Amino acid sequence: MSDTHVRTRIAPSPTGVPHIGNTRTALYDYLLAKKYQGEFILRIEDTDQDRLVPEAVEKIYRIQEFLMMKPDEDPIVGGPFGPYVQTERLNLYKEYAEELVNIGAAYYCFCSEERLKQLHEKDQYAKYDRHCRHLSTEEIRQNMDSGAPFVIRAKLPETGFTTWHDLVQGKLSLPNAECDDKVLMKTNGIPTYHLAVVVDDHLMKISHVLRGVEWMMSTPIHLFLYESLGWEPPILAHVPLLLGPDKSKLSKRHGAKSVLEYADDGYLPEAIDNFLFYLGFSYKDNSDLLTLDEMIQVFDEKKIQRQNAIFDIQKLNYLNSQWIKKLDSEDLFNRLKRFIPENWLLEKDKLLSIINIVKERMFTLKDFSPAAEYFFSTPNIEKQMVLEQSAHTEEETKKWFDSAISVINNSHEYTAEKLHEEFAATQKDSGFSPKEAFMSLRVAISGRPVTPPLFDCFVILGKEETLKRISSVFD
RNA sequence: GGUCCCGUCGUCUAGUGGUCUAGGACAUUUGGUUCUCAUCCAAAAGAUCGCGGGUUCGACUCCCGCCGGGAUCACCA
C-alpha cells in the first residue's frame, strides 16, 4: 500500500445536509489521506436532480471548513481531475456506458416504469427479471427507431461469487445471484450512483474508497464494472454506522443533527472531531484530547471497528468541556462572539477575566452567557434570598454587610487574594460561618447561589459596583 | 423473506488460547479539597465476555447452531 499514492474522497449527494454519521466517515477519509501524505477530495454527487436541495452544497463546504478538514480538491478550489461535480461530467459517463454495452457488460432496457412497478407489486423484494437482457439486435434497433425511452443496465454474472478484501470488514464474499442488473444510465441521460462512482473514482485516481456499510451490498456491481472496463479497483473499506440511543440507525427521526447544528449548540470543532474519532476507533483510553494532526499520527485504518457505534452525547459534552478548558481566553473570546450579546464585546478586558473563571464551568459555548449575565446587568436581588443564605436575622445580616463594606473600602489592594485574606479575618469575628457569610454576599452581588469564587467576582465587578450591589440590599 | 455484517460494564472500547477472579475512559454514586457550583484528587458500584453445543489440559479468544441487532434488495444516493 505504501507504494500507491493515497487519494481518498467523500462524495456527498446534495439531497440534504450530511448528518454527523456521514461526517465521521469523512473524518476517516481525511485521516487516511493525510496519514500517507495523500489527497483528500470532495466530489459532489448530484445525479439525483429530483431530490436536490439548493442549500445543501453550501452546507457541505461549511461543515468541512468548520471541522478544519478542507479538501485538497473540490469544486471550488478545483484540481487536476475536475470537474468535481457529477452533472458537469455527463459526457464522460455516457461514453463509458456505451463502451460497456459494446463490450457486452451492459445492455439497453426498454421496460416501462409500469412494468417494473408491476414486478414489485407481486413481490416487494423482486429483482429485475432481466427481460431485456437477451433482446436481439433487431429488437433493440426497432425500439431505438421508435424512439422508445431506454436505460442501460449492468449485465451482471448470474452465478458465482464476488470476493474482495475489505480494509475494515475483512474478507467479503457476496453471491452474484443476489445482485440485480442495476440501472447504470437513466432515461434522462444521467447516470446512477453505480456508474458515476466507478468512473469518477477511477478517473480521479482514488486509491481507497472509505464509505458507509450501506454500500457493501452493491459493491459487486462496482467491482464488476471495474473489471469489465479493465480498471484496477481501489482498496475498499466499509465503515460501520452511527446508531441512535435506541440502537437504530441514526436518522433525522431521532434528531440526528448535522455538524452545523452542533456548532450552533456551542460545540467546538476540535471536540466534534475528537468525539467522532473515538466513535469506532480506539486510542489509549479514548479520552485523550487529540488535535487533527495528532489523530493523523495515531490513526490506523486497519483498526476501525466493525460494529456500529451508538452516538453518546455525554462523551461529546465531556470532550467539549475539556477542549474549552484547554483553549486560552483570547481564543475562547473569539469563539464566544456569536453566543453573547453584542454590547458585552465592548468590554473585552472584562470579558476575558470572566472567561478565565467561567470556562471551567462550561460544557458548551452556550453555557457562558447565562453564567456571565450578572456581570453586565444588575441582577434582581430579593432580600429574602440573601437572608436564607445568611441564616441570620435581617439586623445581623445588615451588620455583616456593613462590615463587608468597610473591608472593601479599607482594602488597599483590590485583588481576589487580598480580599479573601481580609474577609476571612473579618468573618471570624462576625458570628457568621464562612458559608453563611460568603453565600449571603454571593447572592447579594449576583442574585444567585452559584457563581465562580466570590472574590474573583468582586474584582471583576469592580469596587464601586460591588459596593453598590451589597449596600442596595438593605436600602 | 433472501443475502451479508455485527454481538465484552448504560456508552466508547482493551483484549487474537493460559498473564482475565476481564483492563481503561465517559456517565453514575461516595469521600477529600472548598465560600456555592465547577475543576482537581481518591474510591465504589457496574460485564454470568448474547445463548447453547463442541475442539482443547485450558476459550472472551477457534468451530457449529441458535438468538438478537443492523445493512441491503429503486431509472435514491
The number of folded domains in chain A is: 3
Same domain, A18 and A151: no
Between A368-376 and A454-461, two packed helices, what is the crossing angle to 10 degrees? Answer: 50
**A167 within domain boundaries:** yes
Look up the ipTM and state it: 0.94
Q: How far is the CA of A51 from the C1' of B2 (A)?
A: 30
Q: Give which of A398, A81, A126, A106 is closest to A227, Cα–Cα.
A: A106
**A285 within domain boundaries:** no
Q: Given this model, what pLDDT does residue A255 score?
A: 60
For A7-39, how does the pLDDT look when each residue is reduced to its tens digit (9 = 90+)? 999 999 999 999 898 999 999 999 999 999 999
Contact criterion met (CB below 8 Å) for A238 and A216: yes
| Measured CA distances, A179 to A216, A239, A261 (Å) | 12, 21, 38
Q: Given this model, what pLDDT does residue A116 score?
A: 92
For A428-457, how does the pLDDT look when each residue is reduced to its tens digit (9 = 90+)? 888 899 999 999 999 999 999 999 999 999
Same domain, A414 and A459: yes
Q: How far is the CA of A31 from the C1' of B67 (A)?
A: 38
Give the CATH number of the domain where residue A48 resides: 3.40.50.620
- Cα torsion A389, A394, A395, A399 to 10°: value is 40
Point out the nucleotide closest to A247 (alpha carbon to C1′). Answer: B69
pLDDT level of residue A382 (50, 70, 90 thresholds): confident
Same domain, A44 and A12: yes
Mean pLDDT of A79-96: 97
pLDDT higher than threshold 80 for residue A414 = yes
Whole-number Å distance between alpha carbons of A182 and A194? 8
Give the CATH number of the domain where residue A443 resides: 1.10.10.350
Same domain, A201 and A61: yes
pLDDT level of residue A80 (50, 70, 90 thresholds): very high
**A428 within domain boundaries:** yes
For A241-285, how does the pLDDT look when each residue is reduced to its tens digit (9 = 90+)? 998 777 767 766 556 689 999 999 999 999 999 999 999 999 999
Same domain, A69 and A215: yes
**A235 within domain boundaries:** yes
**A233-261: buried (b, 16+ CB within 10 Å) or exposed (e) per residue?**
bbbbbbbbbbbbeeeeebeeeeebbbbbe
Whole-number Å distance between alpha carbons of A64 and A75? 13
* Structural domain boundaries, residue A146: 94-185
DSSP structure class, residue A268: -
Contact criterion met (CB below 8 Å) for A320 and A344: no
Return the percentage of chain A with pLDDT > 90, whole number. 88
Q: Give which of A260, A279, A328 is closest to A25, Cα–Cα.
A: A279
pTM metric for this prediction: 0.94
Question: To which H or E segment does residue A9 belong?
Answer: strand A7-10
For A335-348, how does the pLDDT look when each residue is reduced to its tens digit (9 = 90+)? 999 999 999 999 99
Provide the strand spans (E) within A168-306: 170-175, 183-185, 208-212, 235-239, 242-243
Q: Given this model, what pLDDT does residue A430 score?
A: 86
> What is the phi/psi pair of residue A472, to 5°?
-75, -15
At which residue does the C-alpha cell 412497478 appear? A117
Listed residues A185, A210, A225: the one ending a domain? A185
**A43 within domain boundaries:** yes
Same domain, A385 and A462: yes
Strand order in the sheet with A161-166: A39-42, A7-10, A208-212, A235-239, A161-166, A170-175
Q: Is A252 a catalytic residue?
A: yes
Listed residues A185, A215, A230: the one ending a domain? A185
**A54 within domain boundaries:** yes
**A274 within domain boundaries:** no
Q: Given this model, what pLDDT does residue A109 score?
A: 96
Point out the nucleotide closest to A437 (alpha carbon to C1′). Answer: B35
For A141-186, how does the pLDDT look when each residue is reduced to its tens digit (9 = 90+)? 999 999 999 999 999 999 999 999 999 999 999 999 999 999 999 9
> What is the phi/psi pair of residue A338, to 5°?
-80, -5
Q: How far is the CA of A358 from the C1' of B43 (A)?
A: 28
Same domain, A179 and A113: yes
Q: Give which of A261, A355, A331 is closest to A23, Cα–Cα.
A: A261
pLDDT higher than threshold 60 for residue A2 = no
Q: Given this model, what pLDDT does residue A257 score?
A: 84
Whole-number Å distance between alpha carbons of A384 and A469? 15
Q: Given this model, what pLDDT does residue A474 score?
A: 84
Whole-number Å distance between alpha carbons of A64 and A54? 18
Q: Give which of A445, A440, A438, A443 is closest to A459, Cα–Cα.
A: A445
Q: Given this model, what pLDDT does residue A278 score?
A: 96
Same domain, A39 and A172: no
Q: How far is the CA of A421 from the C1' of B33 (A)?
A: 18
DSSP structure class, residue A230: T
Same domain, A397 and A437: yes
Give the CATH number of the domain where residue A129 resides: 3.90.800.10
* Average per-residue pLDDT for chain A: 94
Point out the nucleotide closest to A110 (alpha carbon to C1′). Answer: B75
Mean pLDDT of A196-208: 98
- Catalytic residue selected from A94, A155, A247, A252: A252
Contact criterion met (CB below 8 Å) for A378 and A469: yes
**A148 within domain boundaries:** yes
Chain B positions with a protein C-beta closer than 7 Å: 1-8, 10-15, 23-27, 34-40, 69-77
At which residue does the C-alpha cell 478586558 appear? A349
